[in-house]
Amino acid sequence: MCLFCKIASGEVPANKLLENDAFLAFHDINPRAPIHLLIIPKVHVEKFQDVTGELMAEMTPFIQEVAKKLDLDENGYRLIVNNGRDGGQEIYHLHFHLLGGTRLTWPHFSPEEAKKAI
Ligand code: 5GP
Ligand code: ZN
Question: Distance between CA 37 and CA 31 in Å, rounded?
Answer: 8
Q: Which amino acid is at 93?
A: H
Q: Is the pLDDT of residue 109 over 80?
A: no
**Number of the ligand closest to the Cα of 25:** 1
CA of 80, closest atom in ligand 1:
4
- Exposed, middle or buried, 40 (CB in 10 Å: 0-12/13-18/19+)? buried
Instruction: Label residue 43 by pLDDT band (50, 70, 90).
Output: very high
pLDDT in tens, 58-95: 999 999 999 999 999 999 999 999 999 999 999 999 99
CA-proximal residue: ligand 1, atom 19 (nearest): 29
Q: What is the DSSP letter of 39?
A: E
Residues 6+ apart with CB under 8 A from 16: 24, 25, 26
Instruction: Label residue 118 by pLDDT band (50, 70, 90).
Output: low
pTM higher than 0.85, yes or no?
yes
Q: What is the mean pLDDT of residues 5-23?
A: 98
Whether 13 is in the pocket of ligand 1, judged by its Cβ within 6 Å, is no
CA of 32, closest atom in ligand 1:
10
What distance in angstroms lies between residue 28's CA and the mean position of ligand 1's atoms? 6
